[in-house]
Amino acid sequence: MKKERNWPDRSKIKRRTALQLLTGSALAAVAPNFRGALAAGEDSEKIIRAHGYSYFGDLKYPPDFAHFDYVNPNAPVGGEISVATRGTFDGMNRFNWQGKAGLYSGLIAESMFGDSPFGSVSPADSITETYGLLAEAVEYPSTKEWCIFYMRPEARFADGTPLTAHDAAFTHDLFLEQGIRSYARAVSQRIEGYEIIDDHTIKYNFVDGISRRSLISQVGGTPVFSKEWYERTGERLDKQSLQTPMGSGPYVVDDFELNRYIVYRRNLDYWGWHLPINVGRHNFETVRVEYFADDAAEFEAFKAGIYTFRAEGSTKKWATGYDFPAVQKGYVKRESIPVMTPPSPSGFIFNMQREPFTDIKVREALGLAFNFEWTSESLQYGLTEQRHSFAENSEVAADGLPTEQEVAFLKSLGDLVPDEIFTQEAVRAHSSDASRTVDRRNKRTALKLLEEAGWTVSGDGKLQNADGKPMEITIMLSAASSDTAEAIVTTYAQNLESFGVSVTVEKIDSAQWIQRYYDKDFDMIFFRNQSFLEAGTGLKQSYGAETAVVSSYNPQSLQSPLVDAIIDAALDTKSREEEIAALKSLDRVLRYLRIQVPTGYVSDTWVAYYDMFEHPEELPPLAVGQFDFWWFNEEKYQKLKAAGAVR
């Protein structure tokens, strides 16, 4: 069943990423100098103080709001929701960059601004704004040279100890010293330092001469850990551990067994249950994660009721797999839920640190080996759509020739912009013959491009360069990949072989895949980039040159002076119209550079679940929210249990 939803203005929709690096926001209520915290000479500034933070307009929810509009404030509390994941995990420290942490293990932490502990956005009806959680108020001048967080005195860690500004300062330093390298570098270049004004007040000072776009969002979205816990245990943020860092969230780790399961339990003593931001949310008593070795075992477990909620990512299973008894008897419900954010820019990604991917003609040619039409019809039951843009179906997706505003923006960048950017329409994914895996027309075009790049077909049908070196590529694939994903990868590899490329598909366990991904130790992978809908400094981590080699958000290690110039100029735009032109230009140039081979996407979110969960009739447009604002129906559960449908 497909649910229709009421959509807000698309121009106000954005996407968040880890630690708020991709957001930027600023606009709230004006307030006078407050609590004597401002430095001398600042009393003439326009000082903004608010209970939340927004960039594109006034906050939707007033200071005295009772709850978010889309939640059920009377939702019952209790029960368990269980989900599955594939692969392994070797610890519970989500914030390290070595090894693979347990799924959702970062949920224990909270930040100054609120979000969903399980990774979706909050509020889920307007991602342009966020509301205070650890902080009851944020204050900053109109110039955004600094910000002050006034923290809630009642905030407590899970062990009952007070959460203070000293913990926030300690965590800031911890991320600089032991955090992911690209993040630590970005923070050190943008945040000059902090001042602890009192136990519950901290001021962050920002570096002069840089964009103000994402600074307050970044410090407001950084999790806060217990200083006392780290000092007492000797744990490190950059090392995997069986201990979970001490946080303050509504859920705590209750139990786990490596590579088998994790149980998160609702903290009855959680300090923040009284806050309007939490009303109608975090309703399940426990959230359980079951681990499986492969896709087949995982799906069989769902059919048997071993876990109870499944976000379906397989077109094959969605089309053909849901005919088992639990569905036939009405025990399992299926929903296709519309989403408004752009689809994840997934595809085949080149490691542009390695040959032959430094050559744009080679990248374009290898892209022509992917046959979307055949893949969609033969492997994905025609349920996918072709993706062209890094911000598909949004107002910042480039289309056709550059608009007048785009031309003005691009011309401001000078000689960095190639002439063809102005004269050619935005690159779109090529079309292919769906009746065969290899499109002959595309193959001829590809071989011509490869010849121009210095690669010719030898007598044995293999591509080689002028030195006689063959073109050899390895595509790294996680053993936890679905059958469909593996089929897509192997078919693409076979198509490349038909072009004369020697291809190896290297299937490795998920932990090794993660480590090699972080180390950029691969030729190609089937993965994703970050989408974007606004200009935030996180674009530098996703597409910028400075952190390209170490950034986990830039899998290609893209290093383009033109892209860097676009990002810098986008951060200085003064209106939404200018910002849209800048982001269209970014999308246009990324597509021109052929940094990945785009594949298809599913426009809706597919979910299947045992009929004991309920959600608000009107779902918000930005999150399915199963962990956030759904709830458990005990009566339905007992009926399913009596029927033997669930354990």
In this structure, what are the phi and psi dihedrals at residue 229, rounded to the nearest 5 degrees?
-65, -45
Per-residue pLDDT tens over the stretch 334-355? 999 987 888 999 999 999 999 9
pLDDT for the residue numbered 57: 61
Looking at the domain assignment, is residue 255 inside a domain?
no
Per-residue pLDDT tens over the stretch 67-114? 999 999 999 999 999 999 998 999 999 988 777 899 999 999 999 999
Chosen domain end from 205, 232, 259: 232
pLDDT at 11 over 70: no
Looking at the domain assignment, is residue 301 inside a domain?
no
Indicate whether 221 and 358 sit together in one domain. no
Give strand ranges (E) for 258-354.
261-266, 286-292, 309-312, 332-338, 346-350
Looking at the domain assignment, is residue 337 inside a domain?
no
Poorest-pLDDT segment among 38-52, 126-140, 316-330, 503-517 = 38-52
Structure token digits, residue 42: 């600042």
C-beta neighbour count of 296 within 10 angstroms? 11
pLDDT at 534 over 50: yes
β 346-350/524-528 pair status: antiparallel
What are the residues whose beta carbons fall under 8 Å from the beta carbon of 342, sequence distance 6 or more?
Answer: 15, 389, 390, 391, 392, 393, 394, 397, 531, 533
Indicate whether 219 and 351 sit together in one domain. no
Looking at the domain assignment, is residue 584 inside a domain?
yes
pLDDT for the residue numbered 55: 66
Chosen domain end from 232, 248, 270: 232
Mean predicted lDDT score pLDDT of the chain:
90
In whole angstroms, what is the distance from residue 223 CA to residue 107 CA?
A: 10
% of the chain with per-residue pLDDT over 90: 78
Indicate whether 186 and 53 sit together in one domain. yes
Looking at the domain assignment, is residue 2 inside a domain?
no
Looking at the domain assignment, is residue 58 inside a domain?
yes
Indicate whether 220 and 367 sit together in one domain. no
Q: For residue 526, give the nearest of 563, 491, 502, 501 by alpha carbon.
A: 491
Looking at the domain assignment, is residue 617 inside a domain?
no
Looking at the domain assignment, is residue 283 inside a domain?
no
Stated pTM of the model: 0.81
Neighbour order of strands in the sheet with 47-50: 47-50, 135-141, 146-151, 201-206, 191-198
What are the residues whose beta carbons fall under 8 Å from the beta carbon of 162, sequence distance 6 or more?
Answer: 153, 155, 156, 199
Structure token digits, residue 368: 């022509």
pLDDT at 377 over 90: yes
Give CA separation, 500 vs 456, 463, 566, in Å: 9, 5, 37
Give CA separation, 512 vs 181, 493, 524, in Å: 19, 21, 15
CATH number at residue 114: 3.40.190.10
Do 158 and 245 form a contact (C-beta atoms < 8 A)?
Answer: no
pLDDT at 30 over 70: no
Do 224 and 248 form a contact (C-beta atoms < 8 A)?
Answer: yes
Indicate whether 371 and 509 sit together in one domain. yes
Q: Indicate the number of domains in the chain.
A: 2
CATH number at residue 542: 3.10.105.10
Chosen domain end from 207, 232, 257: 232
Burial class from Cβ neighbours inside 10 Å (0-12, 13-18, 19+) for residue 577 reads: exposed
Per-residue pLDDT tens over the stretch 202-249? 999 999 988 888 889 889 999 999 999 999 999 999 999 999 999 999
Mean pLDDT for 614-633 is: 95
Domain housing 194: 10-68+103-232
